[in-house]
């Protein structure tokens, strides 16, 4: 049946959001009475630490916190973000010109392209990658999206020799969704140098910088200079996905463009949520480490990651132990969609790698958002490779 109101062409160009399609597949199974074990979406199941929630509740009671914020975000939170960069990355940032609070990092990731990319200009989106880079950020801005393949042989690191030198903007994300790959500051220095040489805006997505294990500490792109913009998120570190809060930090021209753009689209994140974020950033010690209430959650994801990786290896899958993110990424030995459908049939929801880029045929992502006993139960349901 034809729709009464036709969507704009740019919306029609957007592929359906992956998780919606998966939900439809799983709904059918649920209707048959099967209790699904869901490793699909990257939404932490563990609770946000109590002191953050309490700070938000207290702040919500105050009349002044129930009003509009500014598009740039509250001064006290911007100060706290600057302090976080000093403690955690030893980077000095100006909270008045180099920080903007965003409504989740997703909003900033989209709006940076809105603010800086003209029709027909090129955006580099690594493949696989977070779908917003090649989706809304590219399509809604009439940009030409150049999907550059990440290769397992290169540790899923973007090879700059594969990138077009005439791009306006490049997205990059380590620790990486979906592969779990990580990088060091030396690699980032090379990327920054490349971006400077080619006058490409570097939009670095550091949403998972604290979700790391086995002694690995993720760097910031700002450790390589201030020509880039970095997106941070409260979502994964503090299990605050539903609070919708993130930040953009870096080059003041890029931050100013983002603020101008946001001024037309939103009026900033709710003030009481920003107050909760200040409490969250107070959970860093002076050495830039996280206090136990937060570290405990991250360590729990780290333990589950081990249970899943070891279990998958026992089932016959070759699988890396990721040092970052809460995703496990592996080659399933058949097409991603075939495997996903088969697993949904067995009561386990996984995400097909092709949802993150066509170059990832055969790969699967599982988010360790379920406790170890449910991971064990899911492994039993999955059965041995090719069974």
Ligand X SMILES: Cc1ncc(COP(=O)(O)O)c(C=O)c1O
User: Using CB under 6 A as the criterion, which residues of the chain lie in contact with ligand X when the complex forms?
Assistant: 42, 104-106, 130, 173, 177, 205, 207, 233, 235, 241, 246
Length of the chain: 387
- The rounded distance, in Å, linking the Cα atoms of 319 and 302 is 15
- The rounded distance, in Å, linking the Cα atoms of 277 and 51 is 11
Q: How far is the CB of 364 from ligand X (least distance, A)?
A: 16
By beta-carbon proximity to ligand X, the closer residue of 187 and 231 is 231
Q: How far is the CB of 302 from ligand X (least distance, A)?
A: 18
Q: Which of 32, 229, 272 is nearest to 113 (CA)?
A: 229
By beta-carbon proximity to ligand X, the closer residue of 273 and 382 is 273
- 254-292 burial string, b = 16+ CB within 10 Å, else e? bbebbbebbeeeeebbbbbbbbbbbbbbebbeeeeebee
Taking residue 309's Cβ as centre, other Cβ atoms within 10 Å add up to: 21
Element (H, E) at 56: helix 50-60
Q: How far is the CB of 58 from ligand X (least distance, A)?
A: 23
Q: How far is the CB of 102 from ligand X (least distance, A)?
A: 8
By beta-carbon proximity to ligand X, the closer residue of 65 and 105 is 105
In the three-class reduction of DSSP (H, G, I as helix; E, B as strand; rest coil), residue 103 is classed as coil
Q: How far is the CB of 148 from ligand X (least distance, A)?
A: 16
Helix, strand, coil tally for the chain in percent (to 5): 45, 15, 40
Q: How far is the CB of 230 from ligand X (least distance, A)?
A: 11
By beta-carbon proximity to ligand X, the closer residue of 108 and 347 is 108
- The rounded distance, in Å, linking the Cα atoms of 109 and 116 is 11
- Residue 240 sits at φ, ψ, to 5 deg, of -120, 35
Which residue sits closest to ligand X, CB atoms considered?
Answer: 104
- Residue 149 sits at φ, ψ, to 5 deg, of -70, 135
Q: Which of 36, 171, 43 is nearest to 108 (CA)?
A: 171
By beta-carbon proximity to ligand X, the closer residue of 38 and 205 is 205
By beta-carbon proximity to ligand X, the closer residue of 136 and 382 is 136
By beta-carbon proximity to ligand X, the closer residue of 206 and 374 is 206
Taking residue 242's Cβ as centre, other Cβ atoms within 10 Å add up to: 11
Q: How far is the CB of 125 from ligand X (least distance, A)?
A: 12
């Amino acid at each position: 049946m034809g729709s009464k109101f036709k969507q704009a062409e740019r919306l029609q160009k957007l592929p359906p959001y992956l998780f919606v399609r998966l939900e439809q597949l799983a709904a059918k199974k649920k209707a048959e009475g099967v209790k699904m074990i869901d490793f699909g979406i990257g939404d932490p199941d563990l609770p946000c630490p109590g002191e953050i929630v309490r700070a938000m509740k207290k702040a919500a009671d105050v009349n002044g916190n129930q009003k509009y914020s500014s598009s740039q975000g509250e001064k006290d939170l911007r100060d706290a973000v600057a302090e976080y960069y000093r403690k955690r990355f030893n980077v000095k940032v100006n909270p008045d010109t180099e920080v903007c609070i965003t409504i989740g990092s997703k909003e900033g990731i989209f709006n940076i392209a809105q603010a800086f990319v003209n029709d027909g200009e090129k955006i580099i989106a690594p493949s696989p990658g977070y779908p917003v880079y090649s989706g809304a950020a590219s399509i809604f801005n009439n940009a030409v999206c150049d999907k550059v393949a990440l290769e397992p042989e290169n540790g899923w690191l973007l090879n700059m020799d594969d990138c077009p030198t005439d791009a306006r903007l490049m997205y990059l994300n380590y620790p990486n969704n979906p592969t779990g790959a990580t990088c060091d500051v030396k690699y980032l220095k090379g990327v920054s140098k490349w971006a400077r040489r080619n006058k490409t805006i570097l939009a670095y997505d550091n949403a998972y910088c604290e979700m790391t294990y086995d002694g690995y500490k993720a760097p910031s792109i700002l450790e390589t200079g201030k020509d880039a913009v970095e997106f941070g998120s409260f979502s994964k570190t503090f299990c605050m996905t539903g609070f919708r809060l993130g930040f953009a930090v870096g080059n003041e021209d890029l931050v100013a463009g983002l603020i101008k753009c946001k001024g037309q689209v939103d009026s900033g994140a709710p003030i009481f949520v920003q107050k909760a974020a200040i409490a969250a950033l107070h959970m860093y010690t002076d050495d830039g480490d996280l206090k136990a209430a937060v570290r405990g959650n991250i360590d729990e994801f780290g333990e589950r990651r081990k249970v899943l990786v070891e279990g998958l290896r026992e089932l016959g899958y070759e699988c890396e132990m990721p040092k970052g993110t809460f995703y496990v990424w592996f080659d399933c030995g058949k097409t991603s969609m075939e495997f996903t459908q088969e697993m949904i049939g067995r009561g386990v929801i996984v995400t097909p790698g092709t949802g993150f880029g066509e170059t990832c045929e055969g790969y699967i992502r599982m988010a360790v958002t379920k406790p170890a006993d449910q991971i064990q139960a899911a492994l039993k349901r999955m059965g041995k490779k090719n069974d």
